[in-house]
Amino acid sequence: MDTPTARSPHTIPLIVAAAFFMETLDGTVVNTALPAMAAGFATTALSLSVGITAYLVAMAVFVPAAGWAADRFGARTVFATAVGIFTLASLLCGLATSVPMFVAARILQGIAAAFMSPVGRLVVLHETPTNRLIEAIGTITWPGLIAPVIGPVIGGALVAVLSWRWIFFLNIPLGLAGVALVLRFIPVRPLPARRPFDLLGFALTGLALAALVEGLTRLGERAGSPVEACVLVAIGAALGVAAVRHARRAAAPMLSLASPGVRTFSYATVGAGFASRIAINASPFLLPLMFQIGFGMTALQAGVMVLVYMGGNLAMKSLTTATIRRFGFRDVLFFNGLLCAATLFACGLLAPGDALPLVYAVLFVAGMTRSMNFTAITTIAFVDVAADHRASASALATMLQQVAMVLGVALAASALSLAQSFHPGSGLLLADFH
């Protein structure tokens, strides 16, 4: 069997990135197609949104087990299986003839996604030499930057030209090719010593994350009672504390707490990196709304603006590795963080009368700083984590990224609601986005 050094160093990161792109894109296009899907099932979009919630909760529950599964069965086997199950679940979603069938298929998708992200990242960490880690992490982070931006465009186009079912059918050739590439290019590695399945740790951690994700999602979507949403968040936090206490006492915990003791990992996942991810994930939610509601643009015009933002993300990808190697993580994170904050502030100052070149420039630079920040904090999280702790570290990082994602949208939506409360007689205004 080929060794990692016998093939292009880009092969495995690109395979993993493609799988991540399929997963992330699927989650974003569904939101756009929800009204058309609801019409197909003869129900309301609000009723069908349970399919989105079911996916997120299923993913949240099973993410903690990803590290254990990779150690027990091998990262290659788990990753290939997860991609295969995700593909099968996509087929079932596209063939669904009722809401219960669709929700069941989405739950299966969520379970598969729970293993794809952390185990895929673990594969890259295992198979990438240290001197190429920045470049490899940069490759697998671009799906998280691009898919949320282009997802609504692709979803709208598929619904308009074909059918909402093609949103899921599109995953089938991608998934089958992904499984074949994983089995062809990712080598089999010796398994570490077996450790028992920590059922209590799995239950506490999974339920904590599920409650947090569900509560924050309700706050972000302003669905249901805000009191119920806050209660779910409180329950999730309490279960999280219990999970941490259990992990400290257990002989073989589901998630090792050794990685949070590593300074760089802690910085990137629970410190400043966590805060920056909140802002990063709020931007794709706020920008389309601001351009449509505040600027009076059509959905297509707003989409063009967001594509400029995505262009900045893409342009920065070719410069990320060289920039980090030239200036180091400390300087890049500090100065790029300042630029990122400045561009977000500049986005808040944009007005309908501004010249388009100025608006494009602000969005493009904002996209560049977002891309650099996303790549740098993701890479630095794992540079100092010991190899035998990477499985747990990858699962833990995925959990915290998921919380940051929904928290960013929830805080942005809550801020808009608060601003709107000062003029209850009207809808959202441009000033509310500022």
pLDDT tens digit sequence for 355-370: 888 989 999 998 888 8
Q: Looking at domain 1-196, does it have CATH number 1.20.1250.20?
A: yes
Distance CA 142, CA 146 (A): 6
Model confidence band, residue 259 (pLDDT cutoffs 50, 70, 90) = low
- The per-residue pLDDT for range 302-351, each reduced to its tens digit, is 777 878 888 887 788 778 878 888 888 788 888 888 888 898 888 888 88
To the nearest whole number, what is the mean pLDDT of the chain? 80
Residue 179's pLDDT is what? 92
Tens-digit pLDDT profile for residues 157-214: 777 778 888 888 888 998 999 899 999 888 888 777 777 888 888 888 888 888 887 7
Name every residue whose Cβ is closer than 8 Å to that of residue 341 and which is 6 or more positions away in sequence. Answer: none
Q: Could you give the percent of the chain with pLDDT greater than 90?
A: 8
Which pLDDT value is given to residue 2? 45
Angle (deg, nearest 10), helices 272-289 and 390-420: 50
What is the second-level CATH architecture of the domain 257-434? Answer: Up-down Bundle (1.20)
First to last CA, the chain: 57
Contact 254, 205 (CB under 8 A): yes
Mean pLDDT to the nearest integer, 28-36: 72
Q: Where are the beta strands (DSSP E) in 65-157?
A: none
Q: What is the mean pLDDT of residues 265-281?
A: 77
What integer is the mean pLDDT of 375-403?
A: 76
277 pLDDT more than 90: no
Q: How far is CA 162 from the centre of its chain?
A: 27
- Residue ranges of domains in the chain: 1-196, 198-253, 257-434
Write down the pLDDT at residue 83. 94
More confident residue, 51 or 424: 51
- Is residue 107 helix, strand or coil? helix
Structure tokens belonging to residue 70: 């990779």
pLDDT tens figures, 35-65: 777 777 777 666 676 777 788 778 878 888 8
Fold matches, 1-196 and 257-434: yes
Mean pLDDT, to the nearest integer, of 283-298?
77
Which of the pair, 65 or 7, is modelled with greater confidence? 65
Question: Residue 261: its pLDDT value, please?
Answer: 67
DSSP 317-337: HHHHHHHHHHHHHHHHHHHHH
Q: Is 287 left (phi over 0), alpha (psi -120 to 50) or beta?
A: alpha
Q: What average pLDDT does the segment 11-19 reach?
A: 86
Residue type for position 262: V
- pLDDT of amino acid 177: 92
Task: With beta carbons less than 8 A apart as the criterion, state whether 402 and 213 touch.
Answer: yes
Q: Read off the tokens for 367.
A: 């996209």
